[in-house]
Amino acid sequence: MAEKRMIGYLLKELDRLINERFEEDLAAGELSRRHWQMVHSLADGVRPAAEVRDGLAPFWEHDSEWEAELTGLVNRGLMVDNAGTLELTDAGRSVHDQAFVRIRKRRRAMVEGITDERYAETIRTLEQMVANMSGAQVA
């Protein structure tokens, strides 16, 4: 019998592939993954910068990244920072919309062949595993 891969390996490999493929898709619009997250968080309209920053906090490796990424997007003319309130410019909305076409296509490809029920069960299983491992003590 072939050796089965453990969940840790599969999660890391899927994460690696998601990052790799999404970076490829976003590079077409000259966006990094963090740029995409920032731009996409404004797709529905104006939001306080602190709210966007806090929502993306788990993705930053260093606190200083936020300011550098924000400055880059403002300097490129993709968003404006009005006294702590962020908004996409027309150029930012265009870049977002073009990238979102590629992202939606990639997301559909990722779940191809998986029924809605199987996908929902996978999410529930992963949520339960996270809950089980959060602060869990093994006796």
Q: By C-alpha distance, which of 105, 99, 109 is closest to 40?
A: 99
Using alpha carbons, select from 19, 18, 17 the residue that is nearest to residue 32.
19
Compare 137 and 130 and report the one with higher pLDDT. 130
- Confidence at 3, pLDDT banded by 50, 70, 90: low
- Residue 137 lies inside a defined structural domain of this protein: no
Q: Helix H segments across 28-135?
A: 33-40, 49-56, 64-75, 90-110, 116-133
* Contact of 38 with 69, CB cutoff 8 Å: yes
pLDDT category at 2 given cuts 50, 70, 90 is: low
pTM of the full predicted structure? 0.77
pLDDT over threshold 70, residue 46: yes
Q: Is residue 138 part of a domain?
A: no
Residue 64 has a pLDDT of 85
Mean pLDDT of the chain: 91
Answer whether residue 139 is part of any domain: no
Averaged over 34-60, what is the pLDDT?
Answer: 94
Q: Report the percent of the chain where pLDDT is more than 90.
A: 75
Supply the CATH number for residue 55's domain: 1.10.10.10
In 3-state terms, what secondary structure has residue 79? strand
Alpha-carbon distance values, 7 to 70, 107, 119 (Å): 35, 21, 16
* Highest mean pLDDT: which range of 40-44, 59-63, 133-137: 40-44
Asked if the structure places residue 2 within a domain, the reply is: no
Predicted confidence (pLDDT) at residue 125 exceeds the cutoff of 60: yes
Residue 18's pLDDT is: 93
Q: What's residue 1's pLDDT?
A: 44
Across the range 118-132, mean pLDDT stands at 93
Residue 1 located in a structural domain: no
Helix (H) or strand (E) holding 88: strand 85-88
Domain range holding 21? 7-132
Number of domains in the chain: 1
